Structure 1
């Protein structure tokens, strides 16, 4: 079966998606506290993370490492409302960026973002390393919405 990465159009398709998404979060009043100003490599990093998670190259792990994403979210204190808005804007970006429209793909993307947003929210409130979500590597997502590596929270 084709990977989610290939189905999404590889790096080109995912980069297009992350550009649309990043523009949305930068403009959103609720998410302004989490995204106060544009970061030059944010779209690239998001693309690398999603690509690796969807079965593409492991650039995120090789170039940045999972600790990077933990550190980015630490102490942000993401609220449930912000988490949900993030998911909603991501799915709007999927709609607006010529991603495949088949329900299985859209569900896998939604499940991936929903899962990741919960991990980010937990890590954003972690006072100690013990409070962090146990996930320590980029999760590999498949069509069924299951992670190939899914440590229980």
Structure 2
């Protein structure tokens, strides 16, 4: 029997929309994380974030088809001079949002979601120096029950 993708197991598109919305709310409430949002966001920010994360965990490739993939996401965050603390706060908001969104309490799912976000935070922080350059053409990363694929 084939195990469903993490995307399917978590609840598919509705689950990732709920996760992205919960994460966005938590970031806005954080006194440090809310600063990047002070200039506003795209009206479809939550839907795009849900699509990105959904694709990472085995969902449809809608984000990649409508954007510049992983390179585009990194470009949004590149050169902002982010501090380490920002990554820790972002991770904490993500972990809390998993509960807020009502994702399954399965320990393997939770560990996989956390492992991905720890990896993703390192990726974004690596691009945060003012002189950072993001390589073009990076595909959206894929994450499975076994980790980064």
TM-score (norm. length: structure 1): 0.88
Structure 2: any 5+ residue segments left out of the alignment? none
Determine if contact 2:48/2:63 at 8 Å carries over to the other structure: yes
Task: Using the TM superposition, give the Cα deviation of residue 34 of structure 1 relative to its aligned residue in structure 2, in angstroms.
Answer: 2.3
Q: Which structure ranks higher in relative contact order (CA pairs < 8 Å, sequence separation ≥ 6)? A: 2
Task: Using the TM superposition, give the Cα deviation of residue 32 of structure 1 relative to its aligned residue in structure 2, in angstroms.
Answer: 2.2
1:51 to 33, 43, 54: 54
> Following TM superposition, where does structure 1 have runs of at least 4 consecutive aligned residues deviating by more than 2 angstroms?
32-35, 132-135
Q: Distance in 2 between the 1:19 and 1:77 partners? A: 25
Q: Secondary structure at the match of 1:75?
A: coil
Aligned runs of 1:1-153 on 2, under 5 Å? Answer: 1-36=3-38, 37-66=40-69, 67-125=71-129, 127-129=131-133, 132=134, 136-144=138-146, 146-148=147-149
Task: Using the TM superposition, give the Cα deviation of residue 82 of structure 1 relative to its aligned residue in structure 2, in angstroms.
Answer: 0.6
Aligned length: 145
Structure 1: any 5+ residue segments left out of the alignment? 149-153
Q: For the structure 1 residues 104 and 120, does the alpha-carbon distance in structure 2 shift closer, same or farther, using more than 3 Å as the test?
A: same
TM-score (norm. length: structure 2): 0.90
How large is the RMSD of aligned CA atoms in angstroms?
A: 1.8
